[in-house]
Amino acid sequence: MATAVAGPEIERLILLLSKLPGLGPRSARRAALHLIKKRDLLMGPLASALQVAMEKIVVCKTCGNIDTQDPCTVCVDPRRDQSIIVVVADVADLWALERANVVNGRYHVLGGTLSPLDGVGPQDLSIDALISRAHGTEVKELILALNATVDGQTTAHYITELLQDANVKVTRLAHGVPVGGELDYLDEGTLSAAIKQRTLF
């Protein structure tokens, strides 16, 4: 146990910061010190931004995204293609896809993936809501943007089976060579998927 170098208020700030993803105890100390040094420029605005976000954050009842309005900004955006729903496990995945700016549809956040080992079943995820959205007349395609893990693919298969009689095309992300990837470093599973899903040049 490291000895305290500051009063309990600052130690508490460091402790809370160390719980953020990507920040260990050392970087939390560095972050805390940076905030303290930039009290007016950073710490004050951050504290009020946290307070405002805390009061206003809601989960979109349509898609499961996190926003300060319900329906969320994505759901009400008229420029988005209403015929495409991109299915993701987590809000982080939605934000990642939005950052990449590669798809102009709307989303559906499942809240996780099926995982029998961890006791996560269909009732724990937003699957019923997805199935009823997929039956909407305007929806033409469901893109399953799920992790290329056993749980992710199990979830993809489960959803695909539930939608067999729906008038909607179900697609999934391609598996294979990552952009900038070198074949020599790829595992057999990735190479095999890349060969199977090869496309016409």
* Interacting residue ranges for Zn ion, rule: CB under 5 A: 60, 62-63, 65, 72, 75
Q: How far is the CB of 53 from Zn ion (least distance, A)?
A: 17
**Nearer Cβ to Zn ion, position 18 or 126?**
126
Q: Which residues pair with 175 in a beta bridge?
A: none
**Token pair in block for residue 128:** 């019923």
**Nearer Cβ to Zn ion, position 48 or 68?**
68
Q: How far is the CB of 68 from Zn ion (least distance, A)?
A: 12
Q: Which residues pair with 120 in a beta bridge?
A: 115
Phi and psi for 111 in degrees, rounded to 5?
Answer: 85, 20
Which ranges in the chain belong to alpha helices (H)?
8-17, 25-37, 44-56, 73-76, 91-100, 127-134, 150-162, 188-196
**Nearer Cβ to Zn ion, position 14 or 94?**
94
Q: How far is the CB of 144 from Zn ion (least distance, A)?
A: 18
**Token pair in block for residue 158:** 């489960």
**Nearer Cβ to Zn ion, position 59 or 148?**
59
Q: How far is the CB of 147 from Zn ion (least distance, A)?
A: 21
